[in-house]
Chains A and B, each alone.
Chain A
């Protein structure tokens, strides 16, 4: 069976900054794969290349078997994408937001209406379907965005930091829905996150990125075992990226680490 996502030496430079540096990675069909890494590691840039919003500087990638450069439209039809930033429209209702997504995917109208009702039910938004999204909580908006990205039943779903800014209860609800989606539809899910508990909870395999490079790859348990007997995924993260999670990642931090890395390598 072909890989759901496969990248070969995928690289993207912005001027002198190499945001993604020769990334070679394969994600299996039906897998929940987590891309971890500190701020500026290149996670979002990787996703944007995979969903054809950003052309790679060099290297290649296939998504659902289609080339991200040569078969852009086929790639776009096979995927759903929930961006790091807000993508629902607060001035419209949940149902209207879903309708826009369905129409932009050109789902025939009878089919579209049925799917929208079903998606609202599935995401636990049926009671508030006709309320304006600006009255929703962060967790409800995230669930709506996932529903919008899933309306055309894509084979692969990209979630960029799906639970950033959510309270613990809302995060659990999003996890629950991601899991149910995978179980019910067999969707392959690639998500990025800063939260190690989220990765350990949701992902079958994780890849840790640092300064554009993939520095570790494996199941959460196997990565922890490699680092030490009582290690957690937090320890794995610190081990590979050499930074504490809370340290942030300003431009200068990244530039400094990069200079050190160059000197070392």
Chain B
């Protein structure tokens, strides 16, 4: 049994090309992060706090104050895309750093 098994090593299955590997591996890591959210959805709340504060506190105050001219567009409509983009960007940077940290500390 062992000798047969070992004869099949190390290339018992074909290895994808470098480009395919990159996509698959990136997806594996991303899906693991999503899976953590499934286990602990409170993370979602903590991540939502900041953009909600931006929209409700700053958004409302500045909308009332009309300090920034936004033309026909309401101030909240003007602000929302920016806040969304900012949250996405910050999360990406944060997790990018976490991944680099993991790769440079735990396996080294």
Asked if B13 contacts A107 (CB within 8 A), the reply is: yes
Asked if A106 contacts B15 (CB within 8 A), the reply is: yes
The segment from B34-42, B60-68, B71-79, B83-91 that touches chain A is B34-42
Q: Which residues of A contact B13 (CB under 8 A)?
A: 106-108, 111
A47-90 at interface with B (beta carbon < 8 Å): 48, 53, 64, 73-74, 77-78, 81, 83, 85-87, 89
B12 to chain A, nearest CB (A): 7
Mask, B1-16, CB within 8 Å of A = 1, is 0110110011111011
Contact A78/B107 with A92-B32, A186-B2 known, Cβ cut-off 8 Å: no
- Residue A17 CB within 8 A of the other chain: no
CA distance A85 to B105 in the complex (A): 8
- CB < 8 Å: which of A96, A103, A132, A153 contacts B24? A103
Contact A153/B40 with A48-B108, A104-B25 known, Cβ cut-off 8 Å: no
Asked if B28 contacts A64 (CB within 8 A), the reply is: no
B11 to chain A, nearest CB (A): 7
Asked if B24 contacts A155 (CB within 8 A), the reply is: no
Asked if B25 contacts A78 (CB within 8 A), the reply is: no
A83 (CB) vs chain B CBs: closest residue? B107
B18 (CB) vs chain A CBs: closest residue? A73
CA distance A77 to B36 in the complex (A): 28
Asked if A132 contacts B39 (CB within 8 A), the reply is: yes
Asked if A91 contacts B24 (CB within 8 A), the reply is: no
- Residue B46 CB within 8 A of the other chain: no
Asked if A77 contacts B2 (CB within 8 A), the reply is: no
- CB < 8 Å: which of A87, A89, A106, A153 contacts B16? A106
- CB < 8 Å: which of A64, A85, A89, A106 contacts B10? A64
Q: What are 15 A-B interface contacts by the 8 Å CB criterion?
A: A77-B11, A86-B106, A89-B32, A89-B36, A91-B36, A92-B39, A93-B39, A103-B28, A106-B24, A153-B5, A153-B9, A154-B9, A154-B10, A185-B6, A186-B2
* Nearest 10 CB-CB pairings of A with B: A103-B28, A78-B10, A91-B36, A186-B2, A77-B10, A100-B32, A85-B106, A83-B107, A108-B13, A87-B106
18 other contacts beyond A92-B36, A152-B10, with CB at 8 A cut-off?
A53-B108, A64-B10, A74-B10, A77-B15, A81-B107, A89-B36, A92-B35, A92-B39, A96-B32, A100-B28, A100-B29, A106-B13, A106-B16, A111-B13, A153-B5, A185-B6, A186-B2, A186-B6
